[in-house]
Amino acid sequence: MAQKIAYQGEPGANSNIACAQMFPDLESVPCASFEDALELVSTGEAALAMIPIENSIAGRVADIHILLPQSRLQIVGEYFLPIHFDLMGIPGSTIEGATEVHSHIHALGQCRKLIRSAGLKPVIAGDTAGSAREVREWNDPAKLSLAPPLAARIYGLEVLASRVEDDPSNTTRFVVLAPEKDLLSRKELPGPAVTSLLFRVRNVPSALFKALGGFATNGVNMTRLESYMVGNEFAATMFMADVEGHPQDLPLRLALEELEFFTTEVRILGVYPAAEYRMGQERTGQPAGN
């Protein structure tokens, strides 16, 4: 298996930073799309993929809820990355002399205060790190980029202002994907665990309420629940959920058994160690993904 981890975006993107921090010994491979990153794992060209799944400000990452089930890959880990943006430009540029700032639409939305106070025109780019590369190529002091700090070092840009995001608590949760294999047993995963699952409720009144009842009655904490429509069928709703615990733990085992009664499909997407960030948030009483 290739000792590589694939991510969507250009070198210097937040996904690149997450790869380097969690797997410093693996070669990080940039990909143009999420599909390309997943394909590298499916074909064995990469051992893992690092995919953002939700952001504390922007919410769910578009298309991931569709791509994950279709990929036939398995979630084997999670990583929470605090998101920071720097304002950068070519050497010699200044905020006062700039007229435009380029970045991904989410980054622009998360740095509104700086953009407004500096009187800059926001211009949407496909990627935060990509906007830094473009600013370097344009070599125009009037054009700046909002990008992660790593991008400034990679593309030789000068940081004009650091950590300019409006909300310093901004955090993205990533999941690590690998080829499907047998789920880790409780003995192999003795510490705090997270189980991600997909299920489709029966098209009957109160189906979701009844399906979720088993988690409540068995004391299983559900940390994430999202719904989406299946194809063009407005009556067919799929749900993705993250719950604390391992399927072999008695409370979760009973909850999953009860879930089966009110669903037409249940699929476990992964069982993996709970990230240290998640556990720290629980100790302070703050939600892990928000």
Catalytic residues: 172, 174
Name 239's Cβ contacts closer than 8 Å, sequence gap at least 6. 198, 199, 200, 201, 208, 225, 226, 227
Which DSSP string corresponds to 23-74? Answer: -TTSEEEEESSHHHHHHHHHTTS-SEEEEEEEETTTEEPTTHHHHHHHHTEE
CA 23 from centroid of its chain's CA atoms: 16
- Rounded to whole angstroms, the Cα distance separating 284 from 290 reads 13
Q: CB of 23 within 8 A of CB of 48?
A: yes
Beta-bridge partners for 203: none
- Rounded to whole angstroms, the Cα distance separating 31 from 27 reads 13
Sign of CA dihedral 81, 248, 215, 63: positive
